[in-house]
Structure 1
């Protein structure tokens, strides 16, 4: 009987402790573009200085508390509540506001990556920058990282599977359709994007042949070209990034610029094989889930006309 009473007492004590001891948050070491950051538990208050990361979090149904105060992509506008904290521009974060927010995690990438050196001493900071030579692979890696951080791995896997299916569909549709150039228009000037640009996935991961063997990718305006050069190269397809529209300066500038006597003689123009990519998805967000999905849909629709 004494043993039975002892066992019962031990069970009661264990039960009481299970209700009174606070749960210990599990720490996770997150490896990212600028090192390793330790976070405790699942972050509740999230700050984002990069629209691609916001895009990915929105696709994963993760709420955020703070966002950049500029360049909101139009295709994401209805998912950005007006009462979110404004954290400064993509290039110049408001570190005082970030510190005052007392967030659990802060994400930077691309244009805001330089903020990491300062931010990491204020709040757990993670850099989700993506290499231009493997945009879709980088996007999928970031979805996996975010899935692990927020314990939504099944949702991340679902998004990755859907993205892979779209890439496969575009590859199949593009097969045998000829070569292509990605043009960027910028303040009345023409440039070409290549295999190390913000939309390099068209060549590298979708596998559409480039009409040019070598391109010197520029950050904003690409590799400068003329209409005479474009007619000489004579691509079968042209994918257009309108930088002016992407930055909100002049919607429709690309279409007006390309309505040119020389350009209209190219195979792409003659056959109506010009695809205007969503300018903000292509130029501002670049590697967000919805951005890449939207552009893949646009490329697929072009090939299926």
Structure 2
């Protein structure tokens, strides 16, 4: 079966090559987030994109019509309209190479959940991995969007969008510092609680938006540190940010969360001072790394501070 798929892809590649003009395609060399040098086609017409944040960034830059194929996974609500009719090829975790190649893309873009497909895709296509690898979420967005903009020849647009987000981010940093509040980032999943610290997957709260960590000893981890309600009472943060995983998967909101149903919650300072805030689920959980998702994050934090 694998041999047949390989032969099928080879036939597609041969057919594509026979239809190309003899002139050499213009390219640009960029370095992706994993330090792979990538010889990318300049302003490609057809992109295979297997990441929510990349779909977000491509739309923000004005090129959603260039996405020729993507994954079948449910997308963040704010991206559904733009990509509802886009052909799909497998999932983020298991890209269907044969179907991808049948759409004749010029280039593949992957990140995080689809990163394991780099070897398979790069065998046939220029492939860039734009996972979040920098020191903070915003620095990752800044780097990835800047490199993507070079490929799409949209550097001025990217600079304007990044500058606007950075200006807003710095205002929030000042407000968070002035508030003096010690914060805790919580991922809630059907009575399981994980907390995140500086440098973690949801370290935006501290690394980008300037809150002091209620617990500075949380390990830097992609999956967080699993804790109990008793832990929350012991740490007793001034402000709690809750991301409900199930709401993220169902495009729900805070109304769907059972986080506050536990009786110990009533004893938390954050509960008594009305400082438990729910984050927009799909932006934080599955859109992390996107320009539009980051604007939603800024809006969430701004509401909490004001």
TM-score by length of 2: 0.86
What SS does structure 2 have at the residue aligned with 1:192?
A: strand
In 1: Cα distance, 2:23 partner to 2:43 partner? 13
Alignment of 1:195-274 (within 5 A): 195-220=198-223, 222-248=224-250, 255-274=257-276
Shift of 1:282: 1.1
In 1: Cα distance, 2:218 partner to 2:302 partner? 24
Aligned to 2:60: 59
Alignment of 1:21-36 (within 5 A): 25-34=25-34, 35-36=36-37
Instruction: Report if aligned partners of 2:43, 2:153 keep a CA contact under 8 Å in 1.
Output: yes
In 1: Cα distance, 2:161 partner to 2:23 partner? 31
Shift of 1:24: 5.3
Deviations 1:69-104 (A, max 9, x none): 11311122222232x110211101011011212211
Alignment of 1:95-110 (within 5 A): 95-110=97-112
1:204 and 1:135, CA in 2 relative to 1: closer, same or farther beyond 3 A? same
Aligned to 1:194: 197
Shift of 1:148: 0.7
What SS does structure 2 have at the residue aligned with 1:168?
A: helix
Aligned to 2:84: 81
Match of 2:143 among 104, 122, 141: 141
In 2: Cα distance, 1:150 partner to 1:174 partner? 36
What SS does structure 2 have at the residue aligned with 1:262?
A: helix
Shift of 1:196: 2.9
Aligned to 2:175: 173
1:276 and 1:133, CA in 2 relative to 1: closer, same or farther beyond 3 A? farther
Larger radius of gyration: 1
Aligned to 1:111: 113
Instruction: Report if aligned partners of 1:133, 1:200 keep a CA contact under 8 Å in 2.
Output: no
Instruction: Report if aligned partners of 2:237, 2:269 keep a CA contact under 8 Å in 1.
Output: yes
In 2: Cα distance, 1:81 partner to 1:246 partner? 19
Aligned to 2:4: none
Q: Which runs of 5+ in 2 are unaligned?
A: 1-20
Aligned to 2:157: 155
Deviations 1:228-251 (A, max 9, x none): 111111101111111111122976
In 1: Cα distance, 2:133 partner to 2:198 partner? 11
Shift of 1:255: 3.0
In 1: Cα distance, 2:57 partner to 2:127 partner? 17
Aligned to 1:68: 71
1:297 and 1:228, CA in 2 relative to 1: closer, same or farther beyond 3 A? same
Aligned to 2:187: 184
Q: Which runs of 5+ in 1 are unaligned?
A: 1-20
Instruction: Report if aligned partners of 2:93, 2:113 keep a CA contact under 8 Å in 1.
Output: yes
* Paired positions, count: 282
Q: Which runs of 4+ in 1 moved over 6 A?
A: none
TM-score by length of 1: 0.87
